[in-house]
Copies of this chain bind each other. A is one copy, B any other.
Amino acid sequence: MLEESLDKIMELLVDKQYFRARDELLKYNEADIAELLEEIIDDSGIQMAVILFRLLPKNISVEVFSYLPSNDQVDIINEITDKEITYIIQEMDFDDKIDVLEELPANIVDKILEKAPKNERKQINTFLNYPENSAGSLMTPEYISLMKDWTVREALEHIKKEGIDAETIYTCYVKDTGRKLIGIVSLSTLVVTDDAVKIKDIMVTDYIYEDVDDDQEEVSEDFKKYGYLALPVVDSEHRLVGIITFDDILDVMEDEATEDIERMNGVIDFDDSDRGYLDTSVWQHALNRLPWLIILMVAYIFTGRIVTNFETSLSKVIELVAFMPMLMGTGGNTGSQAATLIIRGLATDEVDTDDALRVLWKEMRVGVIIGVILSVLNYLRIYFIDGIHNPGIALTVCTSMVFIVIFAKIIGSMIPLIVKKIHLDPALIANPAISSVSDAVALSIYFAMAQIFLPI
């Protein structure tokens, strides 16, 4: 349905029927409108999208804006007037506002801040100074505060008055006079409790909270573990400085998964901008991918040496070269299977560095099973498909296969645990390291077997 509307809108835009295109957009909710606008920016350029964006009712355009990815937001900001910018930024939820300001160039931020009321300017500046990816950078100051001596009725009346501007009213926070957080009450408790009961008698005092400097990964772990809608963020003196709501964590979880997946495959995002693939420049892409390739290249100097040392023997039984790609490839792939499972297990807390011996024992057995099966299949291949009836070659390849798989499983599972033990990120180091080590091990095993089974 979204697809059809997009085609229709594109046609209307070509015919310069902007108002009819706008009406088509307005059939959808804000999240969908944002998705359509994204497509329009990609296909017809930013100018066309901005024309449409300006035709949206003001309150809707603010919502739509906050659903757009940050690079599209910056592009729109660059196209609209200062007055429009100021309006949008003023109307946005506080945490969305901070997200946008973080991405904008300093001169535009200054211009926007000039127009903000003094109090808010100060607050925005404080929030902009929290380190990226910290709890502080995710939070919003727009929460409901209650006093401990209020009754439930007073609290509900307060919420009725203040609720509109809060990010959530489902969790309310009780502070003492020194702004220290002393308890939490959920709206559901308020709603099911009698009007005359005091807040201090129903508030929860052993609540979970985050420190303002906590990494967003820890924050998202807590959301996953406890399943709360929102978590309070406190400073070093336990003063409540903001709250984080679950919807901001969904994005964090996705970004963290992306980072892990990329790192596991040798891509390091030096830019750290959460920019998408298509919006990242060619040079940035090259920079993100080069480091591991260069490190691997250096590692391959040693692999090259192993081959060179064996060159004379190889030239005697040149058929051996044909099996090198398969043995190295199988070793690398089977090692990275093991590494992947362990790295993911570490990330989801299913595996711990203390489990090293259990992992080792498991991988050795898995390695034996897989190694023997692949080895038997290989023997059949060599005999029937390749038609090589020299038992020395078959024995060399098949015994190598068993040992290579077992060693690759051991290396692949142990390296992530070791990396984790020394407090580095296993996703960052494990797979590329494994792919080079396993090649060297595969070739060493292969050549050792050749010396046993062949007259060289």
Contacts and interface: CB of A to CB of B under 8 A. Distances in A.
Interface stretch (A116-124, A133-141, A211-219, A343-351): A343-351
A201 interface: no
Contacts of A301: 381, 385-386
Contacts of A45: none
A389 interface: no
Interface stretch (A17-25, A81-89, A99-107, A290-298): A290-298
A229 interface: yes
Considering residues A29, A282, A283, which has the most beta carbons from chain B within 10 angstroms of its beta carbon? A282
A278 B351 contact: yes
Interface stretch (A8-16, A175-183, A263-271): A263-271
Copies per complex?
2
B206 A191 contact: no
A373 B285 CA distance: 14
Given A192-B163, A224-B251, A340-B262, A307 B325 contact: yes
Interface string A254-283: 100110111011110000000011100011
A369 B164 contact: no
Given A31-B225, A374-B293, A325 B188 contact: no
A435 interface: yes
Interface in A224-270: 224-227, 229, 246-247, 250-251, 253-254, 257-258, 260-262, 264-267
B277 A329 contact: no
Given A261-B261, A341-B277, A188 B169 contact: yes
Interface residues of A, number: 108
A326 B300 contact: yes
A443 to B, nearest CB: 7
Interface in A415-452: 431-432, 435-436, 439, 443
B292 A333 contact: yes
A378 interface: yes
Contacts of A339: 265
Contacts of A285: 341, 362, 366
Interface string A382-396: 000110000000000
A43 to B, nearest CB: 9
A278 B350 contact: yes
A297 B330 contact: yes
Contact of A348 (B229, B254, B348): B254
By secondary structure, the A interface counts as helix
A318 B314 contact: yes
B303 A326 contact: yes
Contacts of A329: 296, 300, 303, 328, 332, 435-436, 439
A319 B319 CA distance: 16
Contacts of A283: 369
A213 to B, nearest CB: 18
Contacts of A196: none
A59 interface: no
A351 B277 contact: yes
A79 interface: no
Given A163-B188, A251-B224, A278-B362, A289 B319 contact: no
B297 A377 contact: yes
Contact of A258 (B187, B226, B229, B348): B348
A147 interface: no
Contacts of A224: 250-251, 254
9 contacts: A156-B191, A229-B229, A261-B340, A266-B337, A267-B337, A278-B359, A289-B370, A305-B322, A324-B324
